[in-house]
Amino acid sequence: MSQATSRSVLCALTVLVGALASPSQAQTAQPVKVGLAMDLSGPFAVGGAEAKAGFAVAIKQLGGKLGGVPVEFVEADTAGNPEAARQVVERMLLRDKIDLFTGPVGSSVALAVGPPLFAAKVPYLSSNTGPSDYSGARCNPYFFGASYPNDAYYESAGKFASDKGFKKVAMIAPSYPGGKDAINGFKHTFKGGVGDELYTKLGQLDYAAELAQIRASKPDALYFFLPGAMGVSFIKQFVAAGLSKDVALISTAFSADEDMIPAVGEPMLGLFNTAHWSFDLDNAANQRFVTAFRQQNNGRNPSFYAGQAYDVLMAMDAAVRDVGGKVADKPALLKAIKAANYKSVRGDFRYGPNNFPIQNYYLRVIAKDANGRIANKVIGTVLERYQDRTAAQCAMKS
């Protein structure tokens, strides 16, 4: 045998032995499939676009993998329509065989897609909404309100209004599950007098009739929950009607965040709002995300929709890593998700017994920064390590 032939045989044997010793390395890992059902059109399109931008930052940082395993994202636009969203999710389950799910902005959509996901035992990590049904009586081990429970957000706004000493507060929100949660949560912690409760159509953009009613009732303050384009239109009309001279505005991040500020401008100055996250929170994970987001989005600040979307993919990354890519082991996967073994952009938090976060809620005010840019600024903590009140209605033991 020639020296060249000996070398060839030796190389072949080396490759064969390596393949036999490490069969997992010789095979291509099956990708983890993640359903991203985003609201890129319809009444929640602004939040959906922001969420997509947040997902993009995470995907780039993770190198297109989750837990070191290749990932396939199955994307679809639900248009904020519950029935359409349910059909989208059923296709993802039957045709694409997704392992994990996230994306919808609206509570009505989350409530529609939950049942088929739970029946298929596919974990749903919500990158935005946390309906009171899922945080309370209809809690489910396969649903993680990874961002917040609806009620806690609004309870923080009610707490602020009470601390501020407002005597009479009117309220306005769209007539759908998230809007009703918004008003009920606020009333739970607000100790003053409740004025008019106004429910509008979802997607409504003309508020002349509602503003006339607010003017006539003469409240000290107005609490509003009008996400996206609804909020942009409302604030502009509220200020143009001269109501801002006599009525203080109170809201949450849904109606007063970085996605809305450029569209409204100076009329938003001085608006108080509460949030569980803000782009100016001082922690390393948040600073890394905000820096990357600005680099990928022409220097603009991320909204909380983007921050939450980024956080959810980081949570999935940690869970897939902790189960060694074995996402078919559902008990282990659920345990890994609940452990939340990653650095969140919101800072430290843990899941309560209903799979919703126990976390801080902050007070922010919209002001001009040192460069003259209008943005939110955290000025205090309204609720510390707070568990939503609906958790007591959840029958899950851990």
pLDDT band at 200 (very low <50, low <70, confident <90, very high): very high
Average pLDDT over residues 85-89: 97
The pLDDT of residue 126 is above 70: yes
Residue 29: its pLDDT value, please?
Answer: 63
Model confidence pLDDT, tens digit, residues 352-390: 999 999 999 999 999 999 889 999 999 999 999 999 889
Rounded CA-CA distance 244/3 in Å is 90
Residue 13 pLDDT > 70: no
Q: Are residues 41 and 79 in contact, defined by beta-carbon separation less than 8 angstroms? A: yes
Give me the pLDDT at residue 212, please.
Answer: 96
What's the mean pLDDT in 299-327? Answer: 97
The rounded Cα 204 to chain-centroid distance in angstroms is 23
Q: Which of 220, 98, 239, 205 is nearest to 171 (CA)?
A: 220
User: Which pLDDT does position 398 carry in this prediction?
Assistant: 60
Closest CA to 149 of 161, 136, 160: 136
pLDDT by residue (tens digit) across 127-166? 999 999 999 999 999 999 999 998 888 999 999 999 999 9
* Alpha-carbon distance values, 91 to 37, 223, 395 (Å): 11, 39, 30
Average pLDDT value over all residues in the chain:
91
pLDDT at 172 over 60: yes
Sorting pLDDT into bands at 50, 70 and 90, what band is 228?
Answer: confident
Give the model's confidence band at 218: pLDDT under 50 very low, under 70 low, under 90 confident, else very high: very high
Per-residue three-class SS string for 118-161? HHCCCCEECCCCCCHHHHCCCCCCCEECCCCCHHHHHHHHHHHH
**Its pTM surpasses 0.85:** yes
Write down the pLDDT at residue 95. Answer: 97
Q: Give mean pLDDT, residues 56-78.
A: 97
Q: What percent of the chain has pLDDT over 70?
A: 92
Percent of the chain clearing pLDDT 90 (strictly above): 82
Statement: residue 61 has pLDDT above 60: yes
Q: Which residues does residue 125 pair with via DSSP β-bridges, in sequence order?
A: 144
> Residue 144: beta bridge partners?
125
pLDDT at 21 over 80: no
251-285 residue pLDDT tens: 999 889 998 899 899 999 999 999 999 999 999 99
Q: What is the mean pLDDT of residues 77-105?
A: 96
What is the reported pLDDT for 190?
95
Burial of 53-88, coded b for 16+ CB within 10 Å and e otherwise, reads bbbbbbbeebeebbbebebebbebbbbbbbebbbbb
For residue 26, pLDDT beyond 70: no
> Does the pLDDT at position 173 exceed 60?
yes
